[in-house]
Structure 1
Amino acid sequence: MSEEDRGLLQSKLILVGQYSAIADSQFGPATYRALTNFQAVRGDQPSGVLSSTALIDLHERASFMFAEMGMEIVEDARGQMSMLLPTALLSQTENTRRGMAYFDPSNSIRLETISKPYADESYESLYRSLSTENARRQITYKTFNASRFVVTGYRQGFPFYIYMSAAPQSSIGFSIEWDSQYDEVGGMLAVFMASHSYPLLATSQSPEAVQTPQGFTPTVPRVSYGTGFFVAENGVLVSNHHVIENCSAIDVPGYGAASVILSDADLDLAVLRLDDPHSHAVATLRTRDIELGEAVVSVGYPLATYLNSSLSVGTGIVSGETGLRGEQRWFTTNVGIQYGNSGGPLLDEYGQVIGVAVAKSDELYLLSSIGTVAPNVGFAIKTGPLLDFLSIFRLPDTKPSKEAIPVRASVEIARDFTVQIVCSTHAN
């Protein structure tokens, strides 16, 4: 890879929370750990070499985070620094003695730019004073060289990160501090900004002048998530049509790329097949209809951005024999259906699939139209329409259990045939 591409790869790994060092284009143990950690998150073999599918996934996840944060190039004249700033998060500003402060409306995460002339304090002296512990400040990490230094720790119990660079006439950099609600974001943001912040006086001449990293597309999220489950051998799986609609590439983490072989927008069902079939478990589809009040277990990958693509489980009952506006092919459940659950299986007390998660109630519509909401109202496609849709496929002849099993046992069964689906789009 070129030096530029190596730096970009490290920047993407920072944005997905896997790389905690400044992007310097130098590959070493920290980069290798970040790569293998990202592969582990995806369910891939941790080799340190990303497949083309994994590279696409990394790009899409990083671009999504870049867009969510509202990253924009900001030239801070008071702080004498040019930087990529998360303007959607740090939307408030105020002047400080040495630069500018950028913070969220609750002031729970705060970044301050710093420009300190050498006439006031030398670069080396500033490092010594900022890296010395006292009653208010505990230091957890520090590193220093002739061009920059980093100090991290806790100030009155709150995490902080300080990055300073040695400019011709001043020490220039920033400090960022956050409370517990930003624990996952604060450290990532600090390292990303340290990788893409430079003294303003360098930006007119220096090849290191800050710019939007090539390959990021901050205007539109370029990835979406759903759930699916295997229904036949040779990598055949089911999901919703709306999960795979308009996808330019589909990835099943842990299994690789997949292609759509059958889809129906009216039913909102789709059949996919792995491009490179792996061995896998297969779901048992129940043939008899649902029963009002029977127990339901949902399994899927909701809210992937926030839950780190973890398998999640919900329990409830069949609360209605039809779906939205009396849709006969659906049933209603009080299991919470969230974004990312779509296409996932709902199981009965025997571990059989009795439905495909498809939608949740539109709470904003309900609030505006009738003045209330309906929490934990979700909808699923019944297995009758699903079996009709799958009639052209050779489904395995499986014998369902005749005895009810614990929820944990159902989840362990479903874990082996339930997968996440990552849909990549390339629209600008």
Structure 2
Amino acid sequence: MRHITIALATSLFFVISLARPGVAQETPDSWIQLSAHRILSEAEEIARRRAADLGAVAGFSISGGWYVVALGPFLEADARAALRQLRAEGRIPRDSFIVRADVFGQQFYPVGADARERPALAAAPENPAPTATATDVSAEAPAAPLAAAQTPEPQDETPAEARRSEARLGRDERAELQRALQWFGHYEGRIDASFGPATRRAMAAWQVARGHEPTGILTTRQRAELLDEYRGELAAIGLELVRDETAGIEIELPMGMVRFDRYDPPFAHYPERDGSGVSVLLISQAGDEGTLLGLYDIMQTLEIVPLEGARSRRGREFLLTGANERITSHTYARVADGAVKGFTLIWPAGEDRRREFVLERMRESFRPIRGASLPDTLGEGALEQSVDLLAGLKIRRPEKGRSGFFVDPRGAVLTVLEAVEGCGRVTLEETHVVDVTATDPTLGVALLEPREALAPRGHARFRLDPPRLQSEVAVAGYSFEGILSAPTLTFGKLADMRGLRGEEALDRLALPAAEGDAGGPVFDLAGAVAGMLLPRGQEGARLLPGDVSFAVDAPALAQFLRAAGKSPARAENSDSLAPEELAEIAADVTVLVSCWKG
């Protein structure tokens, strides 16, 4: 049989969308998803059949082990036009929808060039002027081509017609439209499937945002456009019900944006997929309320839980939220059936709409599986522990750590000015937030007041009498900036009661101090504070010997404290103490001062 084959530019009925003069060029990243399949061979067969009819069809893997068959790529407006036409003609399934190319993984059909790199497609003219060539073919000619996207679209429904078509919608369809309007920020009411004044205002707002006349009644075409966008964004998120039998948790997760990686007890790690910036932890650990309390404290030391945010702990559950310029995180955990179960969602800052949607679905679907929790020895957790890591997660560390010492019973602390310069937040023992209430740039000292009153085991008593040259002294300090949990004592001698340039308020010490010791108290052997160690520095262009250190003397410190409204305690004891007694006093008085970014 002889037939006439209609030769088009690229496929059986699609043509390349040419650049239009004066129109900014978009990236063709919109596709019409036709179907999804669990079995690859089935997806390949469907892709071949669809390609025989539609032409520009491709197949891709997506998250969760699915294989999709899609038509494209299009510019966004052309994708909507083609979707409407194909649905109207019955050429594609009614539940087809528009997706973005960034949800696609590896291409399985056709084999060869990446279909995502094709030129943009648009619907071909309804009555094209084909190039006819005579040829012998055994198959029937393909279905007639679609109308061109460039031609004017048919007149849309009038408000009266739109209201009549709207009346035929079922409750679920009406509710989905409300959810779509809510998703795009136009509707804030309840999802009740009732199109009252709030829904009508939301429809009008959406129409304005999309360049339509704001009637407050969506036409059939506008409803399809709204739902196509909404379903496309949901497809990119890829919510799936995950049943993690090892962790003992069932929960919906955004598997289009995260992937399972490993177990590091007490966490199952689901890091970001394809640069989404989203990650999830499932929390699973055998234990009780005591375990929950320990986890509550530990989680707040991790970088994934920013400091600014609501915290609550009551009974058998806790909630931790945090936000900074990079991320927003939400952690929930509770005790159930002899185990602590929960989750953490980490989301890039500034994407509240999608984050809130996913978080609500995770909260609603979260269900502990009885009798299953992560054992302590599973995975690589034991191998990845370090000072800076906990179960593979980075622990929040300060920018710098220095020393200080208590000067009154309510927890006021004296330290060096360098310890608090450039800090977004200052803490004692990495826990108690303090404010800088007084400074003296000449002496290089600062006074810190805790925001909540503390009860230190001891506070400094100052030796205000002149010390004896070459007498033995000891500096108490956090030499390793908090790596060790207690201060260390470094012994040396008082070399001079003035600085190298004759400064009366300084003492020169023959003592090898570390950077973290700065701000620590200088004790005499009777346990009285004779001064405060200053940071090591250079004398002009000269690098000083390693055993040369300087301290602000006790009279200058006492004068500074009085000016700040404090009453420094005076030392009375002059008898030498045993080293262990001196170490006990130092541990009671000395405190770690930490400087944080924010």
TM normalised by structure 1 equals 0.51
Give 2:514's aligned residue. 338
Report how far residue 286 of structure 1 moved.
Answer: 1.0
Report 1:96-175 matches (<5 A). none
Report 1:229-378 matches (<5 A). 229-253=405-429, 256-280=432-456, 281-304=458-481, 307-362=483-538, 366=542, 374-378=545-549
Give 1:227's aligned residue. 403
Report the 3-state secondary structure (helix = DSSP H, G, I; strand = E; otherwise coil) of the residue aligned with 2:584: helix
Q: Distance in 1 between matches of 2:551 and 2:399?
A: 24
Task: Decide whether aligned partners of structure 1 residues 142 and 57 sit closer, same or farther in structure 2, where only a CA change above 3 A counts.
Answer: closer
Give 2:561's aligned residue. 390
Give 1:381's aligned residue. 552
Give 1:405's aligned residue. 577
Letter in 2 for 1:376: D
Q: Distance in 2 between matches of 1:330 and 1:318?
A: 11
Letter in 2 for 1:302: S
Report the 3-state secondary structure (helix = DSSP H, G, I; strand = E; otherwise coil) of the residue aligned with 1:411: helix
Report how far residue 28 of structure 1 moved.
Answer: 2.8
Report how far residue 407 of structure 1 moved.
Answer: 2.2
The total of aligned residue pairs comes to 260
- Work out whether residues 491 and 511 of structure 2, in 8 Å CA contact, stay in contact via their aligned partners in 1: yes
Report the 3-state secondary structure (helix = DSSP H, G, I; strand = E; otherwise coil) of the residue aligned with 2:295: coil
Report 1:77-96 matches (<5 A). none
Letter in 2 for 1:26: L
Q: Distance in 1 between matches of 2:489 and 2:305?
A: 26
Name the % identity. 21
Alpha-carbon RMSD: 4.5
- Work out whether residues 334 and 376 of structure 1, in 8 Å CA contact, stay in contact via their aligned partners in 2: yes
**Which is greater in Rg?**
2
Letter in 2 for 1:28: S
- Work out whether residues 267 and 283 of structure 2, in 8 Å CA contact, stay in contact via their aligned partners in 1: no
Q: Distance in 1 between matches of 2:531 and 2:507?
A: 8
Give 1:26's aligned residue. 282
Letter in 2 for 1:383: A
Q: Distance in 1 between matches of 2:415 and 2:468?
A: 23
Letter in 1 for 2:573: S
Report 1:29-40 matches (<5 A). 29=285
Report the 3-state secondary structure (helix = DSSP H, G, I; strand = E; otherwise coil) of the residue aligned with 1:290: coil
| Structure 1: stretches of 5+ with no match in the other structure | 37-44, 61-140, 144-148, 153-160, 164-182, 196-212, 368-372
Q: Distance in 1 between matches of 2:386 and 2:522?
A: 31
Report the 3-state secondary structure (helix = DSSP H, G, I; strand = E; otherwise coil) of the residue aligned with 1:327: coil
Q: Distance in 2 between matches of 1:329 and 1:3?
A: 63
Report how far residue 320 of structure 1 moved.
Answer: 2.2
Letter in 2 for 1:294: S
Task: Decide whether aligned partners of structure 1 residues 391 and 57 sit closer, same or farther in structure 2, where only a CA change above 3 A counts.
Answer: farther
Q: Distance in 2 between matches of 1:151 and 1:254?
A: 24
Letter in 1 for 2:567: L
Q: Distance in 1 between matches of 2:578 and 2:527?
A: 9
Report how far residue 375 of structure 1 moved.
Answer: 2.0
What do the CA deviations read for 1:56-88 (whole angstroms, capped 9, x no partner)? Answer: 79879xxxxxxxxxxxxxxxxxxxxxxxxxxxx
Letter in 2 for 1:295: E
What do the CA deviations read for 1:334-363 (whole angstroms, capped 9, x no partner)? Answer: 222211111110100110000101022549
Give 1:50's aligned residue. 297
Task: Decide whether aligned partners of structure 1 residues 320 and 399 sit closer, same or farther in structure 2, where only a CA change above 3 A counts.
Answer: closer
Letter in 2 for 1:380: A
Report how far residue 50 of structure 1 moved.
Answer: 3.0
Task: Decide whether aligned partners of structure 1 residues 30 and 287 sit closer, same or farther in structure 2, where only a CA change above 3 A counts.
Answer: farther
Task: Decide whether aligned partners of structure 1 residues 142 and 232 sit closer, same or farther in structure 2, where only a CA change above 3 A counts.
Answer: closer
Higher relative contact order (CA 8 A, sep 6+): 1
Q: Distance in 2 between matches of 1:315 and 1:402?
A: 18
Q: Distance in 1 between matches of 2:283 and 2:399?
A: 27
Task: Decide whether aligned partners of structure 1 residues 300 and 397 sit closer, same or farther in structure 2, where only a CA change above 3 A counts.
Answer: closer
Report the 3-state secondary structure (helix = DSSP H, G, I; strand = E; otherwise coil) of the residue aligned with 1:401: coil
Q: Distance in 2 between matches of 1:256 and 1:294?
A: 36
TM normalised by structure 2 equals 0.37
- Work out whether residues 404 and 590 of structure 2, in 8 Å CA contact, stay in contact via their aligned partners in 1: yes
What do the CA deviations read for 1:192-213 (whole angstroms, capped 9, x no partner)? Answer: 4xx8xxxxxxxxxxxxxxxxx9
Q: Distance in 2 between matches of 1:57 and 1:336?
A: 38
Letter in 2 for 1:297: A
Report how far residue 413 of structure 1 moved.
Answer: 0.9
Deviation >6 Å, runs of 4+: 19-22, 56-60, 149-152
Give 2:207's aligned residue. none
